[in-house]
Structure 1
Amino acid sequence: MKNPLIKINRRFFVITAISFTASTLFASCSSPNSASTTAVNTSAKTTANTVASTQEEKIKVGVSPVPAGEILEFVKKNLAPAAGLNIEIITFSDGVQDNFALRDKQIDANYFQHVPFMEDFGKRHNIKMVALNPPIHLNPVGIYSKRHKSLAEVPKNGLVIIPDDINNAHRALKVLEEAKLIKLKNNPGVLVSVKDIVENPKNLQIKEVISGQLLPSLPDVDLGVMTGATVLAGGMRTDKDALALESAKNPLYAVTLTTLQGQENDPKIQKLYKLLRDQKVKDFIKEKYQGAVIPIP
């Protein structure tokens, strides 16, 4: 008679063997799926990290509407996306709030002013700013009139308006001198004012007004001396409407990107500046403004 325990042990062995085989087969089938899932998860994490590392940098920039605003809009649409830069353009029209907004850190940089204006404004309002050089473009100062078609038509005692800030007033007086309407003291390297006029054959009444009032006041005066930016904002053309125009030889009064001292090496500031100096921007300025705005080489 066979021992019943032997049958039980054999049966247990068979069941155990079958279970082990099934487990092995299941494991061999499921392992690749598990590995695949792990690989997918790892890949997803890698992709997420890559996307995160290449996200656009955001920068807020204050501008005057024309031409700086239009130039920066060109950069925003055509160059910034490929450079990973998200530009938020904030427009100011008075030539003052741009720097106050920069001081208060409402914007990261502004693009509307030349270095002498920036330095004078900074001293008067205790704002430490830095201009990136070389500059971007020049808005040449010109003499304009709604009443006269030539400077010869300007009557004696005619009223002439010029900007009230010291640097643009200097530029305006220099243009009037080049046009032989006045003569200034020969004092190289010094900013001139109305007090420095030594000859005034037509006894022109020269009045300083804030920049925002130059264009609206033009119909009521004989001559207005304004920057190209002011003229363009009024729908006029520097190259066609100016009775006399500032020489573009000196880039001292060319407009550039400005930021607070200590922020000039910020990567997003440097990235924007590089885009503004791109050859495509120079070509855009030449084509759009036809000499009314001049790109700086």
Structure 2
Amino acid sequence: MNTININRRFFVIAITSFAASTVFASCSSPQNNSAVNTNVNPSATTAANTTTTPAKEKIKVGVTPVPAGEILEFVKKNLAPEAGLDIEIVTFNDFVQNNTALKDGVIDANYFQHIPFMEDYGKKHNFEMYAFTPQIHLNPVGLFSKKYKSLKDVPNKALVTIPDDPSNAHRALKVLESSGLIKLKENVHPASPKDIIANTKNIQIKEIPGAQAIPSLPDVDLAGVTGNWILQAGLKTDKDALAIESANEQIYAVTVTTLKGKETDPRIQKLYKLLRDDKVKQFIRDKYQGSVIPIP
């Protein structure tokens, strides 16, 4: 009898232990499965949602509003997305702020100036810039007046304003010379008012900042103005100018500029390539009708 009772006890204990193990295992399994699912599912979801589209390269570019700002806006909307370039356009209303921002690293490149202006500005402010060539477009300098319809009507001792930076002053003086109002010393570059050797009408030349040319136009007899300021004022160089600079002066064409040493930056090279695109040239021809000239 004792042997039978002992065996029964062991049998009950064994059955109880087995049941407890089964209950414990059944409670634990969902937690273990849940842990596995937690680790696997997010990565599976991430993999499913991941695209192969590369991130766009961001670049900050300084411009003057017209025409450079409008041209770059065309590039930003129509060409840059496909090229993977995210262009932030930073607009300045004067040349000094634009180059100061470049020097200080506020922008990566700018698009508003020609090479002679860039070189002169760099020398005066003790830093080097790099200009991409061939250039993008030419803003021809013209002679404008609110008072006279023809250069023949310009009176003796007329007050004439020209830009105060050396390169654009030279351009305006050359247009005055080609119009027969003055004669300059030969082979002087850049020429200044001091290089005038003949002045048949004894015109009075005053150098002023380029941005002041249009606001002061009603108060003067004649003004030599670069094309960007003319377009910004809603005028057209080819139609409203009394005389205009030759389109052959491509040294004064506007281009992309950056700090020396950054010209190999892939973003800036891509920007330049987009601005040289044939679609940009056609946009310039269509929109500006000769007031801005694309460079071949």
Q: TM-score, normalised by structure 2?
A: 0.86
Distance in 2, Cα, partners of 1:47 & 1:87: 27
Question: How many angstroms does 1:48 deviate by?
Answer: 3.0
| Mapped partners of 1:47, 1:135: distance in 2 | 43
1:149-195 deviation line (CA, Å, top 9, x unaligned): 0000000000000000000000000000000110111125x211001
Percent identical among aligned pairs is: 64
Q: Using the TM superposition, give the Cα deviation of residue 262 of structure 1 relative to its aligned residue in structure 2, in angstroms.
A: 1.0
| Aligned-residue offset at 1:222 | 0.6
Contact 2:110 / 2:258 at 8 angstroms: preserved in 1?
Answer: yes
TM-score normalised by structure 1 residue count: 0.85
Query: Secondary structure, in 3 states, of the residue corresponding to 2:172?
Result: helix
* C-alpha distance after superposition, 1:186-219 (max 9, x if no partner): 125x211001101100000011011111111111
CA distance in 1, matches of 2:295, 2:146: 30
Q: SS in structure 2 opposite 1:71?
A: helix
CA distance in 2, matches of 1:38, 1:243: 76
Q: Which residue of 2 aligns with 1:48?
A: 50
SS at match of 1:96: helix
**Shift in CA distance, 39/271, structure 1 to aligned 2, threshold 3 Å:** farther
For 1:81, the aligned partner's letter is: P
Matches within 5 A, 1:231-242: 231-242=230-241
Mapping of residues 53-72 of structure 1, within 5 Å: 54-72=54-72
Alpha-carbon distance, 1:285 to partner: 0.3
1:1-297 to 2 correspondence within 5 Å? 41=43, 44-45=46-47, 48=50, 50-51=52-53, 54-187=54-187, 190-297=189-296
Q: What is the CA distance between 1:40 and its match in structure 2? A: 9.3
In structure 1, the partner of 2:15 is: none
Distance of aligned partners of 1:296 and 1:38 in 2 relative to their CA distance in 1, 3 Å threshold:
same
**What is the letter of the counterpart of residue 48 of structure 1?**
T
Shift of 1:95: 1.1
The runs of 5 or more residues in structure 2 that have no matched partner are 1-35
Which deviations, in whole Å up to 9, do the C-alpha atoms of 1:248-277 show, x marking residues without a partner? 112100000001111111111011111100
Give the alignment's Cα RMSD to 1 decimal: 3.4
Tell me the SS of whatever aligns to 2:206: strand
Structure 1 residue 131 displacement after superposition: 0.6
Amino acid at match of 1:271: K
Amino acid corresponding to residue 273 of structure 1 in structure 2: Y
- Return closer, same or farther for 1:198/1:262 CA change in 2, 3 Å cut-off: same
Distance 2:49 2:282 in 1: 38
Task: Write the letter of the residue equivalent to 1:186.
Answer: E
SS at structure 2 position matched to 1:230: helix
Contact 2:210–2:226 (8 Å) recurs in 1:
no
SS in 2 for 1:112: strand
How far apart are the structure 1 equivalents of 2:243 and 2:70?
Answer: 25
